[in-house]
Structure 1
C-alpha cells in the first residue's frame, strides 16, 4: 500500500454469471471446473453458434420489476449484482448517506444488443418503429446510472471503458475515490451482455473465437497448446469497497484488502498484445509496488487467460519473468467464457474468494499446459493464499492488475 494511503477493504461481493445467480453459485461452478459453454439458439446460422449465457433461471428482469422495460440487460445484471454485494457488506441503502456513496461500473460493449435490434427495426419497419429508449439503453454509463438510481447512491457515478479490462479499471478508479476521501463507500464492478449475432460474428472475423462448434464445452482452454480462441459470454460482478478503518468501525472485517492497482498501456496494436508482455509486466510491477509487496509475496494469480494464442503466450511470459517462484495460476474463462467488460470484475471477485477460502480453482479443459507456469488442472487446489494478483487486459492495449491480500 502506498505510504500514507488508507487500506481499502472488500466488504461485499455480488455476481451473476453463466455459472448461476449469485456469488455462491458462481464460486461453486468455477471451483467445479466444468465449462458452461453450449450451443446458443440466438446464434443459429452464425459461423460460431455457441456461447456462455446467464441461465434463464437467473433472469434479472423479475427482480428488477416494472422498471425492467426501460433498463438495458447489461444494466439489469449490474443492478442485481450490486444489490447482492451491498447486502453481503451488511449495508442498508435506506439508512446510509447516499451523497457519500460512489458507483463505478465498467462495460465493454454496453447496450450494443439494443442497437442491433433497433437497427433491424429501422430497416425492416421504418423509423417510426424505432424505440424512444434506444439511446438510454445503448450508452455505456447506464449501468452505473441505474445502480445509482436503484440504491440511492448520490456520490460520483462513473463508467469506465477499457474494453475487456473495464471491470478491473472500475475497481481501481473506485479505490482512488476512497483514497482521496471523495466517498466513504464505493460500489464498483463490470457488466456486459454482448452475445449477439453481429458481435459474435465480428469477433469470429477477427479470429478471436474458438471454432470448436462440434464441442462447445471443450472450446475454452486457457494456456493449452491447442487453444484456438475464446468463448463469448455475458455476466456481471460488483464489489463493495470501503476504507478498512470505516468498515471496522461498523463491525465488518471484510473478505480481503485491495492492496494495489497498476494500469498501463501497450501502445503497440489495436487488438494484439505486445508479444513480450511489456505493458502487462509494468502493470503487475506497479500493482505490487502500490501494495507494498514483492513478487515473492504473490501466492496465486487469477490470469486474464483468454484461451487465445497470443494473449496466453504473452501473459505466461510475464508470469514466468516477474513471478519465477511459481505461484498457482488459474483462469475462470475455461468455465465462464469471456465476459468481456465484466471479466475483470468477476475475476477480481473470484480472487477475493480464493484468498478468503484458501482455494485455487482449476482451469477447465486444461490437461497439459504449454507454458512453464503452475496452472491448476483437474481439480481445485487447497492452499493458503496471503496475496494474489488478478490480471485484466483489453483491446487498445489496456493493462490492469489488481493485487489483493488477506486481512
Structure 2
C-alpha cells in the first residue's frame, strides 16, 4: 500500500521527457549533445516579429508536437500545452507511472506568464467582435490551465500547482516536486518546465534591456558573449520515493532556494556564492566532491562574469563545467528542468557535452568543457539556475 510517511532516503529521478530545438525525446537531445549543430534562425511563428523593425528577432523554435490530444481538446490548447503533453507522455512511460495509484502522483508546473504571444494573437483575431471570444479563453488564459490539461490527460490526482520563478522556474519546480515527495504528500511528483511563448512585445523589451543576443549563437562564458538566444523548450522530470523500485537516473542529494534582494536582472555575487555553499551544505558535501557543474550560463556579460567568479570563489575550479544554453538556447521558464535532464543524461552516459562557441573564457582557470565531448563519470553534480527578480536555485545530484 502507498505510504504517506516521509521517506528518509533522497528522492530519485525516475523518468525524463524533453523537447528542444534538437527535437522531441531523449534520443534527439543526446545526439545533439554529442554532435552539436547550429539551431538559431529568424523566428517564424505569428506574433514573433515587429513590423518595420530593421532586423528580425532570432531564436530557436520547436517542430509541431505529436498529436496526442483529441482534436476537440487540441483546438483550445496552446502550443505550450500541446508540447507539455508530449514531454509528459515520454516521462510518464519512461518512469512506468501506470504502476502507481493516481492519488499518489503530483504535478508542479514551473513557469508564469506563459502565453503572451497567443494572448496577443487572440486580441487581434477578436478585435471589434469580442462578443464572439471563445468561452474557453476564460480559463485557458491562465497558467493553471496547464495543471488542468495535464491532470485531465494523465491520471494525476495528487497535489498540483504552478510556480513562477522567471528563468529559475524550471529548477524551482524540481525542488518543489522533490519536497512534495520527501514530505510524503505524494509518492511521485512530476516537475514540468513549461514552454514560455514570448511575443514580439517581450522580445523587444528584452532587446532594449540588452539581454538578447543580436546573433543566432549563444556564447556563455566567452569574452565575446553578447546576450542570450531565446528558445522554445519544455521538459518533465518524474521525482519519486527511492523505495518504489522505479527507474533510476540519479538522486537529489541537496538543494538551495534563495532571494538575492535584486528587483531586476542584475545578478548578485554574494547571493550566488551563498547559494552554492548552501546547496553543498544541504547535501553534506565539500566543494572538492563536486565533479561536474551544469551552469545557468546565459551568455549575458554580467551574468556570466558573476557566475564564473562565484564558481571560482566557491572552490569549484577542479570540476568540469559546461552550459546547456550554448547548444539549445535559453528556454526561460523551462531552462532549469531541461538542463537538469541534460545533467542527468550526461551523468548516466559518462560523457559531458562541450560548451559551444567558447574560445576565450572569462575565467580561464576554470575547467571548461569545450571543443569536443569529455569522457567523464561524475559522482556529484551541481546545477544552477537564476531568474529576474533575484530568484536563485541550486540542485545537487548524485549518480
Tell me if both proteins adopt one fold, taking TM over 0.5 as the criterion.
yes
* Partner residue in 2 for 1:230: 228
Match of 1:60 among 57, 65, 88: 65
* Partner residue in 2 for 1:206: 209
Distance 1:87 1:78 in 2: 14
* Partner residue in 1 for 2:84: 78
TM-score by length of 1: 0.91
Distance 1:347 1:323 in 2: 22
Structure 2 unaligned runs (5+)? Answer: 1-5
Distance 1:31 1:108 in 2: 32
Distance 1:307 1:49 in 2: 17
Structure 1 residues 141 and 48, CA, compared in 2 at 3 Å: closer, same or farther? Answer: same
Alignment deviations for residues 291-322 of structure 1 (CA, whole Å, 9 cap, x no partner): 22211111111110000011101110111111
Contact (CA 8 Å) 1:223, 1:307: kept in 2 or not?
yes
Distance 2:191 2:249 in 1: 15
Contact (CA 8 Å) 2:102, 2:156: kept in 1 or not?
yes
Is residue 287 of structure 1 aligned with residue 279 of structure 2? yes
Is residue 268 of structure 1 aligned with residue 268 of structure 2? no
Alignment deviations for residues 186-229 of structure 1 (CA, whole Å, 9 cap, x no partner): 111201232422221121122110112xxx2xx21101101110
Structure 1 runs (4+) greater than 6 angstroms displaced:
none
Contact (CA 8 Å) 1:79, 1:143: kept in 2 or not?
no
Per mean C-alpha deviation after superposition, the further-off stretch among 301-310 and 264-273 is 264-273
TM-score by length of 2: 0.92
Distance 1:180 1:261 in 2: 15
Contact (CA 8 Å) 1:320, 1:326: kept in 2 or not?
no
Distance 1:110 1:301 in 2: 28
2:97 match: secondary structure: coil
Deviation at 1:129, TM superposition (A): 4.3
Is residue 376 of structure 1 aligned with residue 369 of structure 2? yes
Match of 2:307 among 315, 338, 358: 315
Alignment deviations for residues 115-150 of structure 1 (CA, whole Å, 9 cap, x no partner): 111222344x33234333334232122223322221
* Partner residue in 2 for 1:388: 381
Deviation at 1:35, TM superposition (A): 2.9
* Partner residue in 1 for 2:243: 245
Distance 2:7 2:174 in 1: 20
Structure 1 residues 265 and 226, CA, compared in 2 at 3 Å: closer, same or farther? Answer: same
RMSD: 1.8
Is residue 339 of structure 1 aligned with residue 345 of structure 2? no
Q: How does 1:1-400 map to 2 (within 5 A)?
A: 5-42=8-45, 43-44=48-49, 45=51, 46=53, 47-55=55-63, 59-60=64-65, 62-66=67-71, 67-92=73-98, 96-123=100-127, 125-212=128-215, 216=216, 219-247=217-245, 252-274=246-268, 276=269, 278-372=270-364, 373-400=366-393
Structure 1 unaligned runs (5+)? Answer: none
Is residue 401 of structure 1 aligned with residue 394 of structure 2? yes
2:70 match: secondary structure: helix
Structure 1 residues 24 and 188, CA, compared in 2 at 3 Å: closer, same or farther? Answer: same
Contact (CA 8 Å) 1:33, 1:363: kept in 2 or not?
no
* Partner residue in 1 for 2:3: none
1:64 match: secondary structure: coil
Contact (CA 8 Å) 1:114, 1:137: kept in 2 or not?
no
Aligned length: 387
Distance 1:336 1:108 in 2: 21
Contact (CA 8 Å) 1:221, 1:366: kept in 2 or not?
yes
Contact (CA 8 Å) 1:190, 1:238: kept in 2 or not?
yes
Distance 2:66 2:134 in 1: 19
Q: Which has the higher helix share?
A: 1
Distance 2:138 2:320 in 1: 44
Distance 1:290 1:347 in 2: 21
Contact (CA 8 Å) 2:7, 2:241: kept in 1 or not?
no
Contact (CA 8 Å) 1:61, 1:68: kept in 2 or not?
no
Contact (CA 8 Å) 2:7, 2:184: kept in 1 or not?
no
Per mean C-alpha deviation after superposition, the further-off stretch among 231-240 and 43-52 is 43-52
Deviation at 1:394, TM superposition (A): 0.3
